[in-house]
Amino acid sequence: MPQVLKSEVRDAILVAATARFARHGFHGASMADIARDAGVSAGNVYRYFGGKQDLFAQILPDAFVASFDEVLGRRVDALAALDDMAVLDAEARARQAEFLAFLVAHRHQVVLLLDRCEGTVHEDFGRRFVEGLVQRALAAMPDASPHATFVLTRVFDGARQTIVAILETSDDPAQVAGALAEFWRFQIGGLAALQSRRDR
């Protein structure tokens, strides 16, 4: 008689794998470690998932990546529509809250997506994240200096790394939300200064 797969076991494996991938990356996470973290045998993991690639695909499906892009895009578009990024209107505040809620709710997946996907179909996501932000920022700054691309690339790569570090720092949603809000106040102030810059 075939054994019945249990949803609670599958969920425990997914939770353990998500945390392990987020900490160690795709290559650094072994199926044996994932099984141990989930409290099951390594053989049992293969009853639920075809292998590490299959497990990874369940954690970061294309639909999740598309959702991240959409939420980020709405936030950036709301900022770009402002005359003064230092003064957020209701739409910009709503989109910031939406993005923050997404990051907090999907903390491990976001860390994995932004920084730990080497060797997977999403390995270039961190680079694309930075490039997309640079392109959107430049579109909102028609009088940007010739150095803007260089500077913005480094600023947004730093932002990517800072978001990852904040999401890794605490399991407490309030702590994560507070640190992200503080970081964004700092970052938006700098972007507002660039936005208002005029060559003399």
Assess contact for 144 and 53: CB atoms under 8 A: no
pLDDT at 200: 37
From 169, 168, 174, select the one nearest 25 (Cα to Cα). 168
Higher pLDDT, 170 or 14: 14
Q: Could you read off the pLDDT of 27-53 as tens digits, one per residue?
A: 999 999 999 999 999 888 999 999 999
pLDDT band at 196 (very low <50, low <70, confident <90, very high): low
Higher pLDDT, 200 or 79: 79
Assess contact for 176 and 169: CB atoms under 8 A: yes
Assess contact for 126 and 134: CB atoms under 8 A: no
Q: Could you read off the pLDDT of 90-116 as tens digits, one per residue?
A: 999 999 999 999 999 999 999 999 999
pLDDT of 183 over the 70 cut: yes
Q: Could you read off the pLDDT of 161-174 as tens digits, one per residue?
A: 999 999 999 889 99
- What's the whole-number average pLDDT of the chain? 89
pLDDT of 195 over the 70 cut: no
Q: Could you read off the pLDDT of 54-82 as tens digits, one per residue?
A: 999 999 999 999 999 999 999 999 988 88
- 187 vs 195: CA distance, rounded Å: 12
pLDDT at 6: 87
Q: Could you read off the pLDDT of 133-152 as tens digits, one per residue?
A: 999 888 877 777 888 899 99
* DSSP type of residue 83: S
Assess contact for 74 and 95: CB atoms under 8 A: yes
pLDDT at 198: 42
pLDDT of 23 over the 70 cut: yes
From 94, 87, 72, select the one nearest 195 (Cα to Cα). 87
Place of tokens 């920084």: 115
**Which amino acid appears at position 60 of this protein?**
L
